[in-house]
Amino acid sequence: MGNIYKRENKVLKISLIVLRNICLAALIALVAGFAFGYKFLTILTGSMTPTMPVNTVVIVKHVPISDVQIGDVITYQVGGKTNVTHRVVDIKGKGANIALVTRGDAADGNDQNVTVETPVSPAQNKFVGVVVYYVKDLGVALQLIKENIIIITVCVVLALFIVTYS
């Protein structure tokens, strides 16, 4: 009977150590991402389906707008508030006057406004960056974490305490 409890305790310890290491790795990745200019955003609409369905997390890196190519997926801001992630289908102008024409993969037509580095009119969107990586369905987990951050924090702290002091 004693061996069963020892085995269960060992499995629990190992599980908590693995959980701790995953949390630390995620924290390091998040901090490093922000430090090197990456943004983590969640796709909220079906405009990029099937490539990037709702709840896909995208990692966006700001690059010079002149580096963007047709076919790249970019994120831009509409009205200084809302982030939109769509594919570049055309590039107009050169040098400092580049304007990107975009379209969602699920859309039939191009987006109404062009995207530029520094908008000078309401008919222009602000360029945020290029999508460098994405993970489908990770947005669900991130939303759960956001909604339950206090409970998750308490559980992680307790788990770390148990692993460290047992």
Residue 94: is its pLDDT beyond 90?
Answer: no
The per-residue pLDDT for 34 is 77
Neighbours of 31 (CB within 10 A): 10
The C-alpha atoms of residue 122 and residue 143 are separated, in whole angstroms, by: 31
Residue 166: is its pLDDT beyond 80?
Answer: no
How far does CA 36 lie from the centroid of its chain?
14
Q: What is the pLDDT of residues 19-61, one digit of tens each?
A: 777 777 777 777 777 788 898 899 999 999 999 999 999 999 9
Determine the structural domain holding residue 18 and report its residue range.
Answer: 2-36+138-165
74 and 113 assigned to the same domain:
yes
68 and 143 assigned to the same domain:
no
Q: Which of 61, 62, 57, 51 is nearest to 26 (CA)?
A: 57
44 and 116 assigned to the same domain:
yes
161 and 130 assigned to the same domain:
no
The per-residue pLDDT for 7 is 65
Sign of CA dihedral 52, 57, 63, 65: positive
Q: How confident is the model at residue 4 (pLDDT cuts 50, 70, 90)?
A: low
Amino acid at 47: S
42 and 102 assigned to the same domain:
yes
Q: Determine which of 43-57, 71-85, 112-126, 147-161 has the lowest per-residue pLDDT on average.
A: 147-161
Q: How confident is the model at residue 3 (pLDDT cuts 50, 70, 90)?
A: low
What's phi and psi for 52, nearest 5 deg? -130, 90
Residue 86: which CATH number?
2.10.109.10
pTM, full prediction: 0.74
